[in-house]
Amino acid sequence: MTRLILFNKPYGVLTQFTDKEGRAVLADYIPLKGVYPAGRLDRDSEGLLLLTDNGKLAHQLTHPGKHSWKTYLVQVEGVPHDKDLQPLRNGILLKDGPALPARAAIIEEPDLWPRNPPVRYRANIPTRWLEIRIREGRNRQIRRMTAAIGFPTLRLVRTSISQWALDGLQPGQWKQVFLHPPQHQRKKQGKMSR
């Protein structure tokens, strides 16, 4: 049986269990042994992080070839219009190569928890919220994508990975799910043990 942890990572927490510099880490929130992050979420990003004790599941959730969609709510500086998002949908060219086509839409401001510390507010610079879905997980990819179209990211919250979503988890909260292997894998395991 596989363990899967759904964790709402707060802003400022590193996606690792220890840190020599004394910064906030996963161990400050999750008192479990034997589970490891499936992918990462930058220190200055918030939201869903999955941890598991199953390497195959971690690979399935993080490898771009497996097409696991990840959904982000993104507050950007400036006011993009729908046409400004087309390069993201086409597969924008980044310094480390072209990104796979994303799904991107302008949305109303979502009902999220307050960030601590808050995003710096500047009265003369408007902001807008986007929902962006990608199948990759390159380093700071969403931030690089929005910067490339001229709208720097101010706040980034991941809400889902594949079929797994935050579902009401507040920052710092987590829940554990136990997954049974698919039927065909159970039969193979049963035959091997004889």
Q: Quick one: the chain helix, strand, coil %, rounded to 5?
A: 20, 30, 50
CA 116, distance to chain mean position in Å, is 18
d(C-alpha 184, C-alpha 190), whole Å: 10
**Going by DSSP bridges, is the β-strand pair 70-77/127-134 parallel, antiparallel, or unpaired?**
antiparallel
Cβ atoms of 145 and 130 within 8 Å: the answer is no
**Does 42 qualify as catalytic in the annotation?**
yes
By the 8 A CB rule, do 1 and 30 touch?
no
Q: Which of 28, 42, 44, 53 is catalytic?
A: 42
CA dist 97 and 92 (Å) reads 9
Q: Which has the closest alpha carbon to 10: 58, 55, 46?
A: 46
Total residue length of the chain: 194
Catalytically active residues are 42
